[in-house]
Amino acid sequence: MLKGKAPLIIALGLGLMAALLAYKTMQRAEEKVKEGWTLMPVVVSNRDIVEGTVLDYDMVAKHQMPEQFMTPSIVSPKQFEKVIGQKLMVPLQRGDLILWSHFRSEGTFERLSNIVRKAGRAISIGISGAEAVAGWVRPNDHIDILGTFEDPKTESLVTVTLMQNVIVLATGSITGSTNMTIMKDNQKKYNNITVMLLPEEAEIIILASQLGSLYLSLRNPEDIGGEEERARATIQTLLTGERVKALKIKRERTFQVIRLPTGGGGH
């Protein structure tokens, strides 16, 4: 009985072997393709979101995807604060990547108040040019605010660090969502910056701006820790040079100085 079915059974066996071989081949090819993949964090919607919704922190989650597929159009977790408070131009489904194209790019946030943290206050400071690090300060940067005043006791000038690690919300009318690539150079200039402070800090900055000159110092984005209380810079410390010498030693210990070879001799 089986004799007549032998060719069919052999054919089925050969077919199964061929299918298994094909599967193994595809599996090896897939594993080879995935070799060396580095997973990178991305931001995705954690629910279905309708068009026009103002994006908030509780609407998203972190996910991972291969670095090979990352493009500048994807909003990374480090950049996510730039789109908080913006309205979505398109609906999103759960698991969709958050892209820059999902938001308005031609202007600023519809309302700056949407990105002010609770218990915080947005306040603008008239500052530009060299006072604002030659215009290099941008939204979402972390800065220190310094002030130069006349000491009423000695009637000499003194410079102090008023605030450390302050977040910049806007420079002029430019916020973190503004598409600066389509702006002309003269549109990027500004005469004021808007920062986020506590209400009590806002009072200090307003008074300080009336009593003297304010300046900004720009921080590395990863250098967000506070420092110990600093001594004041006065005319006396400048003239004696003692503080300058002590700080020079600290600076050389803090920063890695790369000494380039001087020109001259040849081989």
- Per-residue pLDDT tens for 38-84? 888 899 999 999 988 988 888 999 988 888 788 888 888 888 887 88
pLDDT at residue number 28: 67
Report the pLDDT value the prediction gives residue 229, as an integer from 0 to 100. 65
Does residue 266 carry a pLDDT above 50?
no
Q: Whole-prediction pTM value?
A: 0.53
Which residue reads 């730039």 in tokens?
82
* CA quadruple 184, 195, 144, 254: dihedral sign: negative
Asked if 108 and 174 touch (Cβ cutoff 8 Å), the reply is yes
Q: 202-240 pLDDT, tens per residue?
A: 999 999 999 899 999 999 888 777 666 666 677 777 667
Q: Which of 217, 224, 81, 124 is nearest to 165 (CA)?
A: 224
Alpha-carbon separation of residue 136 from 22, 37, 218, 264 (angstroms): 58, 36, 8, 36
**Rounded to 5°, angle at Cα 181 from 178 and 185:** 95
Q: What is the C-alpha separation between 259 and 256, in angstroms, rounded?
A: 9
- CATH 3.40.50.880 correct for 39-102: no
pLDDT of 117: 82
Indicate the pLDDT class of residue 193, thresholds 50, 70 and 90.
very high
pLDDT at position 116 is 82
Structure confidence at residue 168 (pLDDT): 92
Domain ranges (residues) in the chain: 39-102, 120-229
Is residue 110 pLDDT above 60, yes or no? no
